[in-house]
Structure 1
Amino acid sequence: MRMTWLKPLTILTIFALAAASVLAGCGSKSGSDGEKQDKVLNVFNWSEYLPESVVEKFENQYGVKVNYNTYSSNEEMLAKLSVGSSGYDIAVASEFMVEIMIHQGLLQEIGLNHIPNFKNIGGEFKNLAFDPGNKFSVPYMWGDAMIAVDRDKVKEPITGYKDLWNPKFKNSLVILDDQRAVMGMALKKLGYSINEKDETRLQEAKQELKKLLPNIKAYDSDSPKTMLINGEASIGYVWGAEAALAHREKPSIQYVLPEEGLYIWQDNFVIPKNAPHKKMAETFINFILDPNISAEISDAFPYANPNTEALKLIDKSIIEDIAVYLPNDILAKGEHLAYIGEAAQLYDRIWSEIKQ
């Protein structure tokens, strides 16, 4: 899915990273394994997904300078990492995107022997079909996309995606700026899988989304809760944690778990193929999987946590929030995004046409 609190990498920083990559290739300042020994870590992550306090603790504990940059979608992240020398040491990718990146040869294997805290991850989040054996990925957080409704403004009953097409909601919706999530919503409305590959059905979903356009006020994957809280939008199709945070600040914002079934996701740490500081990236992953650190992240940004030891430390109000930790019957109806192969090109084309 995720407060962009650190500035994006500057042009000078990007040049510095590129230079660092060249130096590393020449063996400058290298250790026995060829990795540069400067204390730097270049992180690429969703916005509003990692509190500044955690990064500062890592920097202080390891004497490292963390360069932190954010993106708004899996597709944006893929585009940046597809560049040969992106300079990033670590990124976060949803399960379907991990599989795409493996297929494209964009990742390197992670040394789980360097990540002893991997043992804290629950078994149901490991060794999944998109990455058997967790060779290329380590679970970070998981969650869902759901509907959030400001009941002070919306009196009509809303039980699922289909209700968002009501003409009464013209210019009232904030929805995720996320291709697969939004396409998936339309596919679910039609009774299809969010991983549909059939072109006829995808064109049906396109026509449904065209009908929805008058109701869409804004696309926002970074902080859609803001428009709900300030009253610019009365309904949102948002990440579960965003719905939870909006409800905390404005109790009239209520959750709707769509009857058609939710989009469920799992985000994972990955290390790009040409990462200049792989060992530091593995150290960072192990640090994040420390139960106290992991719980601190969830208390700040309440996404569901796969760290079983951290669950013992997370505030009870978060654990009991159904926007974050879904009831089992709702989970059973949910669907994860999967790798769709060549159909991804059709998704890209339809999404571009909708956004235009």
Structure 2
Amino acid sequence: MEDQMRNLFVGLLVMCLFVLGFGVITVGAQEVTWTCPEGFEGQELNIFNWATYIDEEAIPRFEELCGVTINYTTYSSNEEMIARLRQGNPGFDIVVPSGAVIPVMVADGLLEELDGQDLPNFVHVAEQFVDPDYDPGNTYTVPYQWGTVGIAYNKNAVGDAELTSWEDVFNYDGNVAWLEDQRAMLGVALQILGFDPNTHNLDEIEQARDFLLENGDNVVRIAEDDGQEMLLAGEADVIVEYNGDVFQIIFECECDDYAFITPEEGTNVWVDNLAIPTGAQNPELARVFIDYMLDPVVGAANSNYIAYASPNQTAIDEGLIDEELLTNPFIYPTEEELEKMFFILEDPDTEQLYSDAWDELSVLIGG
């Protein structure tokens, strides 16, 4: 699995670098030519997505094209989303799970079959994202964005402190916020300890928990996907956060106050996906929306707005992705960096072991 995912990201990097030689066209100058099928006027679609994770024009544009209304709700972690669905889907039509949790969601019967490869716009998906191990045949999902977990900090707050590694974060004399992503954080600890980040060994998982406990004295909060807001507010000098969330504030700031780095020991790389949960009220309109999101212009607009890497081959080939993203090694990592990264793949048999370890850690850290 790790070799396949590494090849996926290395391949995407090569394509992106190749495209740069042909120049970049701004998405703002591109017209969305996608056409909505007839028959959906007046209907509603309920989307359950991560916060700050879609172009601000994507939803109103779809509503106008299809004559529908979208109700939009956000969550801050895969665990929160899954817990909500396990209680009984309240009517969500689309969710955006990470590839890591797809096997668990399928085993629990939480996803409806999508047959993603049958969608008209699936032809635009980069080959490396087709038929992934976490969802063979793209039976339940299509790729949306991919990215990494890294370290961000306020340059003025940290002063001369060197921050290039996880060890530097653990030893930092100041306020730190970790990320509410149990598998990423425990995976980092497992990797540092020399274990497989996807280990099934309870003793190794508990060692990872204890390692984080021993190195969490400077943690003021385990942030629920809003560490970047803590950074902006001065509540934390250093945060562990998803790369795109950090670059959103860096680009908006237009200042030199913040920095993001990929820890030298390695980190978690992930793929988020569009899927239809079991019990969806409007699965047919959900399929139409997912196809819309795979349109190259729409896909590029999403990636450019939220500063994450795109799995849309056509968007890259046609120069629709902003050059400042394609050339940023913290958004599209180098091959050398990718070699040190790990991909999480949850197993229904060990999910509870990781959840228990993280719950114990969260209580003791005070997150």
**TM class, shorter-chain normalised?**
0.7 to 0.9
The secondary structure found in structure 1 opposite 2:209 is helix
The secondary structure found in structure 2 opposite 1:93 is coil
Percent identical residues: 33
Matches within 5 A, 1:15-54: 39-54=43-58
Kindly provide the CA deviation profile for residues 149-195 of structure 1, in whole angstroms up to 9, marking residues without a partner as x.
Answer: 323232222222122221x424x112211111221222222222221
Cross-structure match for 1:214: 217
CA distance in 2, matches of 1:87, 1:114: 24
Of residues 315, 330, 354, the one that matches 2:322 is 315
- Normalising by the residue count of structure 2, what TM-score does the alignment of the two structures yield? 0.82
The secondary structure found in structure 2 opposite 1:52 is coil
Of residues 293, 301, 321, the one that matches 1:296 is 301
Cross-structure match for 1:355: 362
2:325 counterpart letter in structure 1 = I
**Which structure has the higher relative contact order (CA within 8 Å, separation 6+)?**
2
Of residues 63, 68, 91, the one that matches 2:67 is 63
1:101 counterpart letter in structure 2 = M
CA distance in 1, matches of 2:117, 2:99: 22
Deviation larger for 212-221 or 306-315? 212-221
Kindly provide the CA deviation profile for residues 295-349 of structure 1, in whole angstroms up to 9, marking residues without a partner as x.
Answer: 1111210111100122221211111122211112111221111123322212111
Is the 8 Å Cα contact of residues 151 and 253 (structure 1) preserved in structure 2? yes
Cross-structure match for 2:21: none
- Normalising by the residue count of structure 1, what TM-score does the alignment of the two structures yield? 0.85
Gap regions ≥5 residues in structure 2: 1-38
CA distance in 2, matches of 1:177, 1:226: 14
CA distance in 2, matches of 1:169, 1:185: 21
Of residues 140, 161, 177, the one that matches 1:136 is 140
Cross-structure match for 1:4: none
Is the 8 Å Cα contact of residues 110 and 136 (structure 1) preserved in structure 2? yes
2:340 counterpart letter in structure 1 = K
CA distance in 1, matches of 2:118, 2:195: 42
1:165 partnered with 2:170: yes
Gap regions ≥5 residues in structure 1: 1-34
CA distance in 1, matches of 2:258, 2:209: 29
Taking structure 1 as reference, are residues 74 and 298 closer, same or farther at Cα in structure 2, changes over 3 Å only?
same
CA distance in 2, matches of 1:61, 1:97: 32
Is the 8 Å Cα contact of residues 48 and 222 (structure 1) preserved in structure 2? no
The alpha carbon displacement at 1:38 in A equals 5.7
Cross-structure match for 1:14: none
Taking structure 1 as reference, are residues 281 and 60 closer, same or farther at Cα in structure 2, changes over 3 Å only?
same
Matches within 5 A, 1:94-109: 94-109=98-113
Size of the aligned set, in residue pairs, is 320
Cross-structure match for 1:259: 264
Flag as ranges the 4+ runs of structure 1 deviating above 4 A.
35-38
* Cα RMSD after superposing both structures: 1.9
